[in-house]
Amino acid sequence: MNNTVKPDKETVARIFKAFCDPNRLSVLELLQAGEMCACKILEDLNIGQPTLSHHMKILCDAGIVSVRKEGKWMHYSLNREGFARASEILASFYTSSAEYTLLAQECSCSKNK
């Protein structure tokens, strides 16, 4: 994450939570084609409206999906900036793992073997 502030653990947890459900992953796949009305997502996923609302709130709270209201329907789309941020956060776990491996090797318990 170049020149950005390291996110707090709550932010990281929200992002990971967004990706850890099969229904939410299906929604993200659908939204790759572009903005979609909630009614179309409901049809394609064959889930109930309360279930969809629950999943969409999690995706929106994570910043990876944007929403706009048109009449009585909500229209959802991927938030490219949010996806980029999530990607940076995920990559930071890998790139910083070398640093943590070094710290683990310097642990006092490893010196007492």
Q: Please give, one letter per residue, the 3-state secondary structure of 8-53.
A: CHHHHHHHHHHCCCHHHHHHHHHHCCCCEEHHHHHHHHCCCHHHHH
The tens digit of pLDDT for each residue in 4-53 reads: 567 888 999 999 999 999 999 999 999 999 999 999 999 999 999 999 99
What CA–CA distance (Å, rounded) separates 20 from 90? Answer: 13
- pTM to 2 decimal places: 0.79
d(CA 31, CA 26): 9
Instruction: Enumerate the domain spans of the chain.
Output: 9-111
**Topology given in CATH for the domain delimited by 9-111:** Arc Repressor Mutant, subunit A (1.10.10)
Each residue's pLDDT tens digit, 93-113: 776 555 556 555 666 665 555
Angle (nearest 5°) at CA 89 between 85 and 92: 135
| The two structure tokens encoding residue 15 | 């992002």
Lookup: tokens for 32: 């790759």
**The pLDDT of residue 69 is above 70:** yes
